[in-house]
Amino acid sequence: MAIRFEIIKIDPSGARLGRLTTPHGTIDTPAFMPVGTAGTVKAMTQEALEGLNVNLLLANTYHLYLRPGHELIRRMGGLHRFMAWRGAILTDSGGFQVFSLADLRKVNDEGVRFRSHLDGSEHVLTPEKAIEIQRALGSDIGMLLDECTEYPATHERAASATRRTIAWARRSKKEIETTSASEANPEQAFFAIVQGGIHKDLRRESAAELVALDFPGYAIGGLAVGEPHEISCEIARETAACLPAEKPRYVMGVGKPEQLVDYVRCGADMMDCVLPTRNARNGYLYTNEGPLHIKNAEFMDDPRPIDEACACTVCRRYSRAYLCHLFRANEILGAILNTHHNLYFFLDIMKAIREAIAFGNLSRFSSELQARLEAGHP
């Protein structure tokens, strides 16, 4: 068994407290995965991630395939060894980046033809190729290639992408079963991705077909692409209800701090988002009283920490004035400290969510958190 998932408690809202065991350790769920695009969570050392108790991170197949190349990483003994990471790794299929970053992409039933955003070289990503690349990387959890749709997408457009994604899942399943497992990680598991845009009938069809193929876990893709948050949650909830209760569910690419608990209440066990890390590098910091822009002049002589209620090592030591100076002087340390705080902030919310499920007070926690975070929004 590649991964094991155990549900400890289910909240009346549908939120699940669980434990995901992978070949590289056990993760308490619901879990937030920091994004390590190119085999690095930008501005964080692996030691610093360990210090934040990160035990699962996401790496992007598209980026690693183009640079340094999956064959090089295979020769280096797989991604864990290459990046000296002892915890678990989930890799995406590369599909989302191909659809959002690559130039001149052409999709047909065979796969996606695209040009690298780095050097313009031409590549073809097929469901089989996505498995081959991720096996070379040796992640603990890989994802099947899917066709992502933009928002808004008509029913016809979403239906075509959904059916193509189902057909690609069948090919992926065959590829997984008829070819050799990852040398770097023989216990690697692959999750299928439910698509269907905001169309509930398509979500149900997509989930039913993928569940019939029996994967060890399922992702809900195509959310947080511009649709209103209420619709996003409704679709997540509806889709989660069509997935097997005993298997992990990963809602891809979400969300803002105040939204994490909403997705958890829709039944999400895993989430990932670039917001804490990307925003940190832009000087956008999350606090319990709403976000702040550290570059603003008001912080130049502010001796307080980023967030007085935050227990992270940055807030215990450094002032807003210093962080404002580092940002304005374009010093590397600014990105490092900002990223550390933002990641701590997201991970701390997830920890509080898990505790609230355990103590049976998630709905009270959720309304208090919402009120607190939204009060400070500009």
Positions marked active-site: 92, 272
Query: Least distance (Å) from Zn ion to the CB of residue 278?
Result: 17
Minimum CB separation of residue 257 from Zn ion in Å reads: 13
Which stretch of DSSP H or E encloses residue 251? strand 249-251
Cβ(286)–Cβ(273) under 8 Å? Answer: no
Label the pairing between strands 249-251 and 270-272: parallel
294 is an interface residue for Zn ion by CB under 5 A: no
What type of residue is 124?
V
- Of the candidate spans 154-162, 219-227, 282-290, 303-311, the one that interacts with Zn ion by CB under 5 A turns out to be 303-311
Helix, strand and coil content of the chain, in percent to the nearest 5, comes to: 45, 20, 40
DSSP string, 26-43: EEEESEEEPEETTSS-TT
Binding segment (CB under 5 A) for Zn ion, from list 53-61, 100-108, 174-182, 315-323: 315-323
Rounded to the nearest 10 degrees, what angle do helices 332-359 and 362-375 cross at?
A: 150
**For Zn ion, the closer CB: 184 or 312:** 312
**Interface with Zn ion by CB under 5 A: which range of 63-71, 134-142, 202-210, 306-314?**
306-314
Range in contact with Zn ion (rule: CB under 5 A) among 50-58, 139-147, 215-223, 307-315? 307-315
Residues 53, 87 contacting (CB under 8 angstroms)? no
By beta-carbon proximity to Zn ion, the closer residue of 31 and 315 is: 315
Determine, following the binding rule CB under 5 A, whether residue 292 of this chain makes contact with Zn ion: no
The least distance separating Zn ion from the CB of residue 96, rounded to whole angstroms, comes to 30
The only residue of 312, 347, 350, 362 in contact with Zn ion, by rule CB under 5 A: 312
With H, G, I as helix, E, B as strand and everything else as coil, classify residue 236.
helix
Rg (CA), the chain: 20
Contacts of 44 (CB under 8 A, 6+ apart): 34, 277, 336, 339, 340, 343
What is the number of other CB atoms lying within 10 angstroms of the CB of residue 295? 16
Residue whose CB is less far from Zn ion, 254 or 312? 312
166 vs 285 by CB, closer to Zn ion: 285
Kindly tell me which of 66 and 280 has the beta carbon lying closer to Zn ion.
Answer: 280
If one asks whether residue 280 binds Zn ion (CB under 5 A), the answer comes out as no
Beta-ladder partners of 103: 115
Task: Out of 193, 315, 356, 362, point to the residue binding Zn ion (CB under 5 A).
Answer: 315
User: Residue 26 pairs with which residues in a beta bridge?
Assistant: 21
**At residue 84, what are phi and psi to the nearest 5 degrees?**
55, 50
Given 143, 169, 261, 310, the residue binding Zn ion (CB under 5 A): 310
Binding mask 332-351 for Zn ion (x = CB under 5 A): ---------x----------
Our CB check for Zn ion shows the closer of 102 and 294 to be 294
Which residues of this protein are in contact with Zn ion, per CB under 5 A? 310, 312, 314-315, 341
